[in-house]
Amino acid sequence: MKATHYDEVYDSYRGQIRRFALEKVAPFAATVDEDERPPLEAYEASLALGLPGLPFSEEFGGQDGDVISQIITVEELARVCASSATTVSTCWIMMLVQRFGSDEQKRKLIPPVVQGQQRSAWGLTEPKGGSDLMGVVASAKKTADGWLLNGTKRFITNGGWADWYLIFARTEPEKFGIFLVSKQDQGVSFGTPERKMGLRGSPTCDVILEDCLIPLDRVVGDPAKGGEYIRAGLLASRLKYAAHGLGIAQGALDEAVAYTQGREQFGRPVSDFQMIKGMVADMAMKVEAGRALLMHAATLVLNQEPGAKKYASMAKVTCTDAAMSVATDAVQLHGGYGYLKDYPVERMLRDAKITQIWEGTNQIQRLMIAKEVYAG
Ligand SMILES: Cc1cc2nc3c(=O)[nH]c(=O)nc-3n(C[C@H](O)[C@H](O)[C@H](O)COP(=O)(O)OP(=O)(O)OC[C@H]3O[C@@H](n4cnc5c(N)ncnc54)[C@H](O)[C@@H]3O)c2cc1C
């Protein structure tokens, strides 16, 4: 799919993903949360539509799906299951290899991810911190036998479940590289799976590197330019994380609208009460404002226009703050039932919180927005 702005082609694509999400993803959303296991059913079903390969070049079996089709996909999956949206889209981190890797790396690593034979993950965050990206202590030293990696990466999505890890490590005092570490490499181990508030269908754990020696050709591009590559990749991926929050917000709104029309108090559906209508209107405005900003940011990114970075951060904050606020109100509108696991809004509220924390916390995003605003 190739376009320079949002048009009706995307509406038809959205309809296709929406139907898929309702039929193949939604039925397992509560189970994967309850069992704290990867959403295998949704992931495997998504292969039929080629979703793990969506952004990759057709040359490698992908669909060449642009950033707008990527955010539509993430939004529609997260609308019914935030964990499934995370699992499918985390595979897209291999786009860093497509953009900056060698021909051999692309040929070897991308087709298995596209076909669902292998999965990927990325490791930036460390125990010492995630916000200060350039403070990483994990190191990669060049030796005659290969790159020697040491360090611990914390909170890694798909940790232990993925086959390939894109590890961000310090190569010189002020330089960083991205290294391709296989699950099978000597010196790689995984921490205990984290027990999380939400997003429980998405595995998270430490990736530990102890004298992990990998071949010299496992560095992505220039070992001194990893910081630049990550910053370039973050622009598109920030939109994806915004879409994830937006999907949760839209899903919670869907549930609240349906519930308030069916629930009666004082002899009338609670949706008849003005105070309920006001809440629903506010929720709908937050969702639509988030979507409008996200689409604007995506169009700027797609056309490589100035301001893309600022709008991507604005979209991330607006959509993920909407997720938290709308999911909280959706629970409120369910009364006591919203507090029970029997209703999806309970899970949606727990899932919403992470969206304000990861991919650059919303405080860090606000700092970046303010910097751009002051710069004029
Ligand atoms: C479920 C889950 C999945 C994740 N998946 C991945 C993954 O796949 N790969 C990966 O690399 N990481 C992943 N992360 C890590 C995530 O990106 C980090 O948790 C996040 O960037 C925040 O880092 P931190 O937890 O170290 O918080 P800290 O950086 O310690 O921040 C603590 C608090 O201080 C605030 N703060 C920090 N600096 C400033 C400042 N300058 N001004 C104002 N406020 C500030 C923060 O906003 C936050 O509120 C994941 C995390 C979770 C929980």
Residue 129 beta carbon below 6 angstroms from any ligand 1 atom: yes
- What's the CA gap between 136 and 128, in Å, rounded? 8
Residue 215 beta carbon below 6 angstroms from any ligand 1 atom: no
Look up 359 and say whether it is catalytic.
yes
- Nearest residue to 89 via CA among 106, 100, 75: 75
Give the Å distance between the CA of 125 and the centre of ligand 1: 7
pLDDT one digit per residue (tens) for the chain, 376 residues:
556 666 778 999 999 999 999 999 999 999 999 999 999 999 999 999 999 999 999 999 999 999 999 999 999 999 999 999 999 999 999 999 999 999 999 999 999 999 999 999 999 999 998 999 899 999 999 999 999 999 999 999 999 999 999 999 999 999 999 999 999 999 999 999 999 999 999 999 999 999 999 999 999 999 999 999 999 988 889 999 999 999 999 999 999 999 999 999 999 999 999 999 999 999 999 999 999 999 999 999 999 898 999 999 999 999 999 999 999 999 999 999 999 999 999 999 999 999 999 999 999 999 999 999 999 8
* CA end-to-end span of the chain: 34
Residue 129 DSSP symbol: B
Q: Is residue 60 part of a domain?
A: yes
Q: How many CA atoms, within 13 angstroms, populate the side-chain half-sphere of residue 250? A: 22
For residue 36, which amino acid is it? E
Final residue of a structural domain among 186, 208, 223: 223
- Nearest residue to 249 via CA among 318, 186, 173: 318
Final residue of a structural domain among 173, 189, 223: 223
Question: Atom 41, ligand 1: which residue's CA is nearest?
Answer: 364
Q: Is residue 51 classed as helix, strand or coil in its secondary structure? A: helix
CATH number at residue 163: 2.40.110.10
Give the Å distance between the CA of 127 and the centre of ligand 1: 10
Q: Do 183 and 231 fall into the same domain?
A: no
CA 93 to chain centre: 10
Q: Which of 96, 155, 181, 366, when mutated, tests ligand 1's pocket best, judged by the most ligand atoms within 8 Å of its CB?
A: 155
Residue 358 beta carbon below 6 angstroms from any ligand 1 atom: yes
- Nearest residue to 17 via CA among 81, 62, 60: 81
Residue 241 beta carbon below 6 angstroms from any ligand 1 atom: no
Q: Which of 83, 178, 361, 369, when mutated, tests ligand 1's pocket best, judged by the most ligand atoms within 8 Å of its CB?
A: 361
Residue 155 beta carbon below 6 angstroms from any ligand 1 atom: yes
- What's the CA gap between 178 and 182, in Å, rounded? 13
- The domain containing residue 69 runs over which residues? 8-114
Give me the number of domains the chain comprises. 3
Question: Atom 31, ligand 1: which residue's CA is nearest?
Answer: 131
∠ CA 66-231-71, rounded to 5°: 30
Residue 320 beta carbon below 6 angstroms from any ligand 1 atom: no
Give the Å distance between the CA of 231 and the centre of ligand 1: 16
Q: Is residue 205 classed as helix, strand or coil in its secondary structure? A: strand
Q: Is residue 164 part of a domain?
A: yes
Q: Do 273 and 243 fall into the same domain?
A: yes
Give the Å distance between the CA of 364 and the centre of ligand 1: 9
Give the Å distance between the CA of 238 and the centre of ligand 1: 14
Which residue stretches of the chain are H helix?
8-20, 26-35, 40-48, 67-80, 82-90, 95-100, 103-114, 226-262, 274-302, 308-333, 344-357, 362-375
CATH number at residue 105: 1.10.540.10
Question: Atom 50, ligand 1: which residue's CA is nearest?
Answer: 155
pTM: 0.97
Final residue of a structural domain among 223, 251, 271: 223
Q: Do 371 and 231 fall into the same domain?
A: yes
Q: Do 233 and 370 fall into the same domain?
A: yes
Q: Is residue 3 part of a domain?
A: no
- What's the CA gap between 376 and 311, in Å, rounded? 14
Q: Is residue 262 part of a domain?
A: yes
- What's the CA gap between 234 and 240, in Å, rounded? 10
CATH number at residue 246: 1.20.140.10
Q: Do 246 and 369 fall into the same domain?
A: yes
Q: Is residue 321 part of a domain?
A: yes
Q: Do 61 and 132 fall into the same domain?
A: no
Q: Is residue 2 part of a domain?
A: no
Q: How many CA atoms, within 13 angstroms, populate the side-chain half-sphere of residue 83? A: 32
pLDDT value of residue 1: 52
- What's the CA gap between 13 and 183, in Å, rounded? 35
Strand partners, 150: 139
Q: Are 345 and 334 in contact (CB under 8 A)?
A: yes
Q: Do 249 and 366 fall into the same domain?
A: yes
pLDDT value of residue 306: 85
- What's the CA gap between 15 and 10, in Å, rounded? 9
Q: Are 356 and 324 in contact (CB under 8 A)?
A: yes
Q: Are 211 and 52 in contact (CB under 8 A)?
A: no
Q: Do 179 and 110 fall into the same domain?
A: no
pLDDT value of residue 7: 73
Residue 124 beta carbon below 6 angstroms from any ligand 1 atom: yes
- What's the CA gap between 16 and 46, in Å, rounded? 12
Q: Is residue 58 part of a domain?
A: yes
Q: Do 110 and 141 fall into the same domain?
A: no
Q: Do 370 and 242 fall into the same domain?
A: yes
Q: Do 155 and 23 fall into the same domain?
A: no
Q: Do 351 and 235 fall into the same domain?
A: yes
- Nearest residue to 320 via CA among 280, 276, 365, 368: 365
Q: Which of 75, 76, 255, 359 is catalytic?
A: 359
Residue 370 beta carbon below 6 angstroms from any ligand 1 atom: no
Q: Is residue 353 part of a domain?
A: yes
Q: How many CA atoms, within 13 angstroms, populate the side-chain half-sphere of residue 299? A: 11
